[in-house]
Structures are given as C-alpha cells and as structure tokens.
Homo-oligomer: A and B are copies of this chain.
Amino acid sequence: MRGKACKPFVKNARPAFGDLITQPDHSPFPPTQISDATLRRFLSYYMKRAFNVVQANLTATLKPFDLRMPTYTALVLICGNPGLGQTQLAQAMDIERPNLVVIIDELERRKLINHTRVPTDRRAYALIPTLAGRPPCDQAVEVYEAKQFAGLGQEMRTAMIDALFKVRAG
C-alpha cells in the first residue's frame, strides 16, 4: 500500500479517491490523537502552529498599546536592560542591526525610550526607557503574557521553557 509511511493527521481531510485512497482519517489536532510516529516526524509543525497563535494573540493584544511584536520586544528588553546598545539589542532579538533602526526610531518618536550618546564611546548610543515608556511596557506584558500562558500552570510552563531552551541551544 502506497501511503503507508505517512498517516493522515489533518482534521477533516478530504477522503482520497481512485487508487490513491489510503486510510481516510479524521483525527483531530490534539497530540493524544496522533500517532507517535507522526509526532516524532513533524514537531516543527507543532511549533509553528503554536507560535502562529501566540503571534496572532500578541498582535491583537498589543494593538491598543499601538505596539507590534518587534517594538514590544525591544521595549521590554530596553526596560529590563536600561543603557543597552543597539548591537546588543539586535543580538538579543536575534535580528540584524539594520532592522533595529526603524524600531528604535518609532519608540523614540513616541517618547517611550531615549537614544543617548555614550560618553565613553561616541560611536555608541545607549537605549533608556523614559518614564512614559515603562507603564505601557508593563501593562502590555501583564495583559498579554498572563492571558496567553495562564492555562499552562507552573509545571507545564517550566517544562516548556526547558524544552524551548534545549531546542534553542541545540
């Protein structure tokens, strides 16, 4: 049988037809319903799907604050690390320095951060949150992260962090 190696795992998959019918399967997304073989084969898919949800929810939550994911991330990191330089921030955000420029510009235009020359190294700028910058940062974080990960519980949260770190570290 041709399709034996791959088992269907898409909800409401259209029944195949002709000689290509294998096993019409209507298994839902939950991991418990999916064969272990399939799970092991396609973990990156789960990561993407979960991340899509996080991204969508985060975008929606940040809208009232007029923040997008990159500006939000930058603001939180700057609030947590006042005096940070742009090269370091780019490293922390895992993006290239040029992409940071518009982000920094926007945050500064909105008076959420300051962009000050470092006295000891006149090439560098230090990023510092303004007094006006902290409240939206704190509120956005609290409103979003609390809501998004509320259902996880401490154990699950810890397990997830561990796994994500392991994946990241390789």
Contact check, A157 vs B163: say whether CB atoms are below 8 A apart: yes
Contact check, B41 vs A145: say whether CB atoms are below 8 A apart: yes
Contact check, A54 vs B167: say whether CB atoms are below 8 A apart: yes
Number of copies: 2
Q: A29-B165, A48-B51, A170-B53 are in contact. Are A81 and B43 (CB under 8 A)?
A: no
Interface size on A, residues (CB 8 A): 90
Query: Can you list 19 residue pairs at the A/B interface with Cβ under 8 Å?
Result: A14-B84, A14-B88, A16-B83, A17-B119, A17-B120, A21-B82, A21-B83, A40-B157, A41-B76, A41-B145, A43-B157, A44-B145, A45-B73, A46-B168, A47-B51, A47-B164, A48-B69, A151-B166, A152-B167
Residues on A facing B (Cβ under 8 Å): 2-3, 5-17, 20-22, 24-25, 29-31, 38-54, 57-58, 69, 73, 76-77, 79-85, 88-89, 91-92, 94, 118-120, 124, 126, 128, 131, 134, 137-138, 141-142, 144-145, 148-149, 151-152, 156-168, 170
